[in-house]
Amino acid sequence: MNKELLLKNLRNIPDFPVPGIQFKDVSSLFKNPECLKEMSDALYELYKDKGITKVAGIESRGFVMAASLALRLGAGFVPIRKLGKLPAETITETYGKEYGHDTIEIHKDAIDENDVVLVHDDLLATGGTMLAAYNLVKKLNPKKAMINFLIELEGLKGRDVFPADAQIDCLLSLEGK
């Protein structure tokens, strides 16, 4: 994977959404076809032999690569959305994040005990959103659940919130906060 290409095209937005946050804007990677291909190929290589049956993407930036990867793997795509956005019966999880609280939901019938699930999002910062998503997926009792991010901000130690046995992979690790 061409990490230099991805890093060169990753946009940083200071003080968004609140002062002190250095927002890593992956939309600049999505709009570049070379970057999109690099990320798609790297994700496919990581997971092509893992038996994944569902890829769950977290609203909204997590949808992009999760849906693309699901297609390449021959797996289904499962959206994990903000409260009130899914039409059928759901389960929910409320969590704290670096600048507030939020609630996410998943359809109750999205995953079953025969599924091997990869839960994907764009960025690991403090880990709150993904931990909530991972907990939702685990409540549906899949055979196995794994976690993936495009970017990890190592300085925020987001990995520390997950159980020790959680399998977590990231394409890019950055020291920043």
- Which has more confidence, 98 or 104? 104
Name the pLDDT band for 99 (thresholds 50, 70, 90).
low
Domains annotated for the chain, with CATH where assigned, are 50-174 (3.40.50.2020)
In the residue annotation, 11 being an active-site residue is answered as no
72 a catalytic residue = no
Catalytic residue among 72, 81, 98, 154: 98
List phi, psi (to 5°) of 46: -65, -35
Q: How many residues does the chain have?
A: 177
How does DSSP classify residue 62?
H
Q: Which bin fits 137, alpha (ψ -120 to 50), beta or left (φ > 0)?
A: alpha
For residues 127 and 158, the answer to whether their CB atoms sit within 8 Å is yes
* Minimum mean pLDDT range among 56-65, 89-98, 140-149, 156-165: 89-98
Question: Catalytic pick from 38, 61, 105, 152?
Answer: 61
Q: For CA atoms 43, 49, 50, 53, give the dihedral sign.
A: positive
Tens of pLDDT, residues 100-133: 789 999 999 999 999 999 999 999 998 999 999 9
Rounded to the nearest integer, the mean pLDDT of the chain is 95
Among candidate residues 135, 159, 130, the one with its CA nearest the CA of residue 61: 130
Name the band, by pLDDT with cuts 50, 70 and 90, for residue 20.
Answer: confident
**Beta strand residue intervals within 15-88, DSSP E:** 22-25, 54-58, 76-82
